């Protein structure tokens, strides 16, 4: 493509409100333009990359037998009432009213719609399992859209849904999808971790998130430095380590005032409220209580912290309070607790003896330096951008919305469902976070808008122009996608734009055109990496260079 | 693809509210499902066809150097205020309010957005011309959605926009786009006419519509039975035919009451109101006045008919009334007019002499049987479905929205624009209107969801199953897309579904499988057209058959 004919409005200045590297560089490189808060146009360069991501997704979905369809973005409110989400989804759900006063949701997700679609259709085990997906524009009215495409209000998503007669069949589809997602992100060149995630709120079972590693990520991932183990911070289990019992067991004592003690002996008390109960959790003061683990232990969907700090109720318990402790307190004999209300410090606490704990469990956040739960290595933290999720949804929607089938014995059962998502536009941004330098983007070759940026330094010079035309044609014939900068711009502008745009390989036709010599280099090496190459060897040099790059 | 794994919910019954053949058959064949009035899901079969149409469009757009981008569907209301269309577009524009109370239009069309996108970018003639397009979901809150995808509220459209420094450049792009559209529709197998259309309301200049010929079409096309001439009914010019002057010229006379006369001599008067004037148009009573022609003659955007019938004002004119006559009255000497108010019949009217007509012009609708305006053949009428339009938009949006550029002489000018659209989902429906019989769809091979429907009559029979597996693999290896009906259904169900789905070629593996004989036929020939074929010659037979089909 001739650059003079392309809409690539590069920017010299860093846009004021663009906080992240991906946001800045996608704007500056002329890949996207903002139309409103969290709402963007994909310009020709940006849309070329989006289409490459979509093609990879389609190929991997086809390979596992998932079928593409396209459901509408306008979803009748009735369906969201059926599932109960119209009221609970909150202001993030974009809603509109048609000319007849009927309400619609602008799809933030497709569970309701797909369930309504199959409920009259997949009515027998003979038609199961079934797997469908769509690549579609989705809407979410984010309170604070940010980081460009990373948290937008209109975005492109691949969502897939599978339907099953048995849990085993769901499990099979789940891992097929898991592997397909791994393939997608690997083929995109993304550095990512598939992490255990929390399924609680969505009422399902197993779930993994695919987290692209990036400093600006909003999620913290706990991973092993020596194995594949990775989990969202709130989901990472902590291995029980025997607390060394102190040599002697002393009776519980109270001292007036706050007594200074070593941090490791200090115990803290966290209070929570569920829909039905009051809950008290003890743990080491050096640890942090993990409310997701509390929630999962209780099997409830809601725990709220209470502003209270006391251990009195644990010393003199009544049935109204559920008392738990983190497993880290098990075996401790010399606990210390300062009770503010009494201005007393309790010492020599043996939680098992003194605190009427109904159960010791893993209730704290993992910490860097903890042993990895799989026994291999040590836990480290990283920041991640969630680019995908696989989820065993179970029967939540099929039950509430009446999507039933007859099993082999003629019994009516709700369909068992899985749901799966990839943030397409978000993946684009995550790639940019990982593939750039201070001058611009550096595309992995699987997603690059063009393979080669052919730069004619001075297109007014006939020899440069003629040679460039020939190379443009030759390289295109070899199957490379070539962006030819044929513009009558200053060389400085051209090179700066080329660094911003970030095609993997640059071929520069300049002063040595009369000698049939051009410069070739990988974008990631910047100008210093470019070498002079005789035109007759160019095809080979470029082919070799492309083969080296990832 | 194995049919047992595909979501193809065929229906035996004709859905109650499906009025047109395309709507009925797309629903019955399991191509689409309705989610709300005018809102549909494209199921896997339907979406395969949509993607084929999109691929053809992309190829033809690429060929003329138009670049694909994707603008958001959520368009800030501010842009529609700038263009003035927020208020005039009416209830067909879907509108929504975000959580902060800001208004958005759900894009019905993209002129505002694309103009805002280029107005800071295409600021010099050096960057012109530029051509961009997108394939996107559009919204239009139709009062009465009907005919399935033909008049939907959420639909897929290709919209393109070109930007120019000169009218000549626009003209060049216009005809390139015109030809690309012809190629698109020809490749889709559509029977269509490119017709002259009215550009008045949109404030532009030349425009053509691409009309798919179909009985249920809502537009009437006037075309020549012997040439390429075609126009929308309201745009078709009428050739002036000399009215035979009557042998003698008699003075104007009045007779009391209504005098019976030959129809051809009767004159009628039509009154109109514009924003500023009252307009009176005379024409033969056998003709019908064409208000679009009146509008264009006056160069105004609005004419409203008045309930008045009198010629008095023409006999005693004042300056307040503009008086015109259809060219068909020129030369007439013996006109007759019954003036209701006076209960008098005027006879021997010579319009040129008696009626103070300021101009004779082509102001009537063309009729079947009129000579074609290009001089070749006779006018016939047909019904059409508008599937595409090319439009010289001019500077309407660039002026109101301030999209300016510097020309070669350093003068600031508004960008000259063209806009172009193809209804993608509507094209799908139009194809179905043209390609079906009473049993189901019959896809043209360029758009067929699968080339071949391989039907195993009894998959419980090992010989049939084994042979089918082999043929499925062989035919796929030849590059054909094969839908294999491997379902354990009754043969009657399978054949009925196969007719509904309408793949171009059917291969049936039945009782003669042990003798390596199958049946092959074109879908359009129905069951009677299938012939027995020895398996070893099947590849050749199918290849030949596909080559014969369009």
Mean pLDDT throughout A414-437?
Answer: 97
Phi-psi region of A394 (alpha: psi -120 to 50; beta: other; left: phi over 0): left
Both tokens of residue A40? Answer: 């963007």
Q: Which of A371, A403, A431 is the last residue of a domain?
A: A431
Provide the β-strand partners of residue A335: A349
Question: Is there a single domain that holds both residue A50 and residue A134?
Answer: yes
Question: Is there a single domain that holds both residue A424 and residue A495?
Answer: no
Are the beta carbons of B366 and B379 closer than 8 angstroms? yes
Q: Which of A328, A361, A394 is the last residue of a domain?
A: A361
Report the domain count for chain B. 3
pLDDT in tens, B454-481: 999 999 999 999 999 999 999 999 999 9
User: Interface pTM (ipTM) of the complex?
Assistant: 0.90
Q: What residues 64-103 of chain A have any CB closer than 8 A to a CB of chain B?
A: 65, 67-76, 91-92, 94-96, 98-99, 102
Question: Is there a single domain that holds both residue A331 and residue A407?
Answer: no
Write out the residue range of the structural domain in which residue A109 sits: 44-207+385-431
Q: Who wins on pLDDT, B301 or B268?
A: B268
Question: Is there a single domain that holds both residue B354 and residue B503?
Answer: no
Question: Is there a single domain that holds both residue B98 and residue B132?
Answer: yes
Residue A341 pLDDT level (bands cut at 50, 70, 90): confident
Say whether A153 and B117 touch across the interface (CB within 8 A).
no
Question: What's the CA gap between A47 and A54, in Å, rounded?
Answer: 10
In a domain, residue A238? The reply is no
Residue A87, class by beta-carbon neighbours within 10 Å (0-12 exposed, 13-18 middle, 19+ buried)?
A: exposed
Residue A137 touches partner B, C-beta closer than 8 Å = yes
Question: Is there a single domain that holds both residue A163 and residue A61?
Answer: yes
Question: Is there a single domain that holds both residue B104 and residue B229?
Answer: yes
pLDDT at A320: 79
Chain A residue numbers with beta carbons less than 8 Å from the beta carbon of B47 are 68-70
Domain of A308: which CATH number?
A: 3.90.960.10
pLDDT in tens, B6-46: 999 999 988 888 889 999 999 999 999 999 999 999 999 99
Percentage of chain A modeled with pLDDT above 70: 96
pLDDT in tens, B330-388: 988 889 998 888 888 999 999 999 888 999 999 999 999 999 999 999 999 999 999 99
Q: Which of A65-74, A236-245, B307-316 has the lowest mean pLDDT?
A: B307-316
How many beta carbons lie within 10 A of that of residue B158, not counting itself?
Answer: 26
Distance from CA of B149 to the nearest CA of A (A): 12
Please report, for residues A213, A292, A294, A328, A372, the alpha-carbon distance to residue A235 in angstroms, rounded to integers and kept in the order given: 17, 7, 11, 17, 13
Distance from CA of B156 to the nearest CA of A (A): 10
Say whether B96 and A106 touch across the interface (CB within 8 A).
yes
Question: Sheet containing A253-256: which strands, arranged edge to edge?
Answer: A253-256, A344-349, A335-339
Question: Is there a single domain that holds both residue B134 and residue B266?
Answer: no
In a domain, residue A466? The reply is yes
A151 CB-near residues (< 8 Å, 6+ apart): A38, A142, A144, A145
Preferred mutation among B65, B98, B486 to probe A, highest tally of A CBs within 10 A:
B98
In a domain, residue B215? The reply is yes
Q: Which of A403, A431, A459 is the last residue of a domain?
A: A431
- Among A162, A134, A165, A140, which residue's Cα sits nearest to residue A58? A134
In a domain, residue A217? The reply is no
Question: Is there a single domain that holds both residue A341 and residue A391?
Answer: no
In a domain, residue A378? The reply is no
Checking if the pLDDT of B232 tops 60, the result is: yes
Q: Of the segments A223-237, A352-366, A504-518, which one has the largest average pLDDT value?
A: A504-518
pLDDT at B202: 47
Phi-psi region of B473 (alpha: psi -120 to 50; beta: other; left: phi over 0): alpha
Both tokens of residue B264? Answer: 């051809």
Among B6, B99, B130, the residue with its CB nearest the CB of A141 is B99
Mean pLDDT throughout B492-498?
Answer: 97
Domain of A489: which CATH number?
A: 3.40.50.800
pLDDT in tens, B177-227: 999 999 999 999 999 999 988 776 545 578 999 999 999 998 999 999 999
Mean pLDDT throughout A306-310?
Answer: 75
Chain B residue numbers with beta carbons less than 8 Å from the beta carbon of A118 are 7
Question: What's the CA gap between A145 and A40, in Å, rounded?
Answer: 11
Question: Is there a single domain that holds both residue A511 and residue A484?
Answer: yes
pLDDT in tens, B244-284: 555 578 899 999 988 887 788 999 999 999 988 889 999 99
In a domain, residue B374? The reply is no
In a domain, residue A264? The reply is yes
In a domain, residue A280? The reply is yes
pLDDT at B317: 66
Question: Is there a single domain that holds both residue B489 and residue B527?
Answer: yes
């Amino acid at each position: 493509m001739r650059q003079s004919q392309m809409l690539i409005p590069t920017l010299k200045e860093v846009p004021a409100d663009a906080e992240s590297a991906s946001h800045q560089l996608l704007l500056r490189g002329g890949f996207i333009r903002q139309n409103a808060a969290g709402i963007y146009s994909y310009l020709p360069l940006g849309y070329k990359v989006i289409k490459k991501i979509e093609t990879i997704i389609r190929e991997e979905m086809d390979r596992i037998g998932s079928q593409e369809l396209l459901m509408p973005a306008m979803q009748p409110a009735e369906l969201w009432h059926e599932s109960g989400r119209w009221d609970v989804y909150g202001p993030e759900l974009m809603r509109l009213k048609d000319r007849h006063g009927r309400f619609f949701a602008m799809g933030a997700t497709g569970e309701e719609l797909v369930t309504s679609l199959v409920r009259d259709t997949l009515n027998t085990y003979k038609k199961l399992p079934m797997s469908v997906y769509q690549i579609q524009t989705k809407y979410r009215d984010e309170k604070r859209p940010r980081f460009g495409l990373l948290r937008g209000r209109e975005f492109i998503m691949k969502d897939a849904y599978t339907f099953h007669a048995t849990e085993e069949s769901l499990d099979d589809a789940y891992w097929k999808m898991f592997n397909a997602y791994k393939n997608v992100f690997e083929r995109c060149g993304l550095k990512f971790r598939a992490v255990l995630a929390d399924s609680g709120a969505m009422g399902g079972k197993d779930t993994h998130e695919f987290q692209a590693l990036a400093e600006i990520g909003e999620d913290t991932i706990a991973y092993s430095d020596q194995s594949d183990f990775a989990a969202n911070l709130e989901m990472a289990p902590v291995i029980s380590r025997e607390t060394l019992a102190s040599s002697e067991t002393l009776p519980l004592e109270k001292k007036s005032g706050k007594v200074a003690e070593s941090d490791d002996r200090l115990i803290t008390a966290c209070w929570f409220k569920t829909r039905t109960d009051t809950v008290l959790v003890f743990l080491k003061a050096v640890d942090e209580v993990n409310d997701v683990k509390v929630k999962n232990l209780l099997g409830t969907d809601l725990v709220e912290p209470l502003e209270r700090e006391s251990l009195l109720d644990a010393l003199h318990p009544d049935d109204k309070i559920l008392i738990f402790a983190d497993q880290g307190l098990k075996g401790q004999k010399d606990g210390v607790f300062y009770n503010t209300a009494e201005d007393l410090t309790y010492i020599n606490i043996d939680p098992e003896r003194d605190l009427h704990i109904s159960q010791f469990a893993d209730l704290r956040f993992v910490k860097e330096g903890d042993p990895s739960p799989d026994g291999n290595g040590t836990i480290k933290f990283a920041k991640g951008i969630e680019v995908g999720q696989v989820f065993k949804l179970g029967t939540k929607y099929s039950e509430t919305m009446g999507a039933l089938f007859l099993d082999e014995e003629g019994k009516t059962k709700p369909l068992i469902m899985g749901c799966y998502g990839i943030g397409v536009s978000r993946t684009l941004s995550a790639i940019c976070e990982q593939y750039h330098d201070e001058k611009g983007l550096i595309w992995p070759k699987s997603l690059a808008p063009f393979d080669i940026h052919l730069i004619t330094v001075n297109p007014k010079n006939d020899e440069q122009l003629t040679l460039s035309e020939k190379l443009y044609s030759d390289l295109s014939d070899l199957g490379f996608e070539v962006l030819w900068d044929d513009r009558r711009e200053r060389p400085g502008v051209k090179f700066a734009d080329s660094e911003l745009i970030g095609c993997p390989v640059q071929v520069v036709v300049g002063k040595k055109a009369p000698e049939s010599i051009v410069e070739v280099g990988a974008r990631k090496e910047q100008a210093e990496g470019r070498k002079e190459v005789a035109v007759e060897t160019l095809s080979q040099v470029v082919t070799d260079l492309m083969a080296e790059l990832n």
